[in-house]
Amino acid sequence: MPKPSLRDPILDAGLKTMFRTGYHGTSVRDVVAAAGAPQGSFTNHFRSKEAFASEVLERYFTVVKGLVAQALDDVSLTPRARLKRYLEIITGRLESDGFSRGCLIGDLSLEASGSSEILRTQLEKIFHEWRKPFAACIAEAQAAGEIAGDFEPEALADFLLASWQGAMLRMKVERSPAALERFKAIVFQTTFKEPS
């Protein structure tokens, strides 16, 4: 009978470890120790640390897409309220981590995009895909007259995601939700304010 695969436990351990110590601070030894797996099992499943990080990132983005759908697909809310709901869902998750962890996509964008072309390209694709449901929701809000149509929905979606990443960086430094709450208050009273 074949041994059970350790691929999933190693990926789960890698996600937790990279969140805690970053891409460069995470060693293969750290990951297999956290997974309770022998060192050789890593190389059985992944050709390099870079390839492993790519799979961890994809696994993380799958979770993020689920959170996006949870908020933006909720047709019981207005489009503008759905955007707010997404930020509230994420704020709740960040709070459960003591405001010490942000977003792995943002973290790897800062840390690994300068040293890994594979990860940089993957992150670029992720941001492009991540923007789409937000742009669609923003377009719907503009069509409903909930927010102004001064900017293209794609530009506003990029702005929202990039600015939110910046707020999360400050949150991690301060170990406080203040930057998140400030961002939400300002963005919904300016960029996403209801037209008068």
Residue-wise pLDDT tens digits, 39-64: 888 998 999 999 999 999 999 999 99
Fold of 1-46: Arc Repressor Mutant, subunit A (1.10.10)
One-letter amino acid at 25 equals G
Q: How far apart are CA 151 and CA 135, in angstroms?
A: 11
Q: Where along the chain do its domains lie? A: 1-46, 53-187
Q: Which residues of 80-89 are buried (b: 16+ CB within 10 A; e: fewer)?
A: bebbbebbee
Q: How far apart are CA 184 and CA 171, in angstroms?
A: 13
pLDDT at 86: 98
Give the pLDDT mean for 33-38. 92
Packing angle between helix 79-96 and helix 153-174, nearest 10 degrees? Answer: 20
* CA distance between the termini of the chain: 69
Q: Is 1-46's fold the same as 53-187's? A: no
The CATH code that applies to domain 53-187 is: 1.10.357.10
pLDDT in tens, 68-96: 999 999 999 999 999 999 999 999 999 99
For residue 29, give the H/E element and its range: helix 28-35
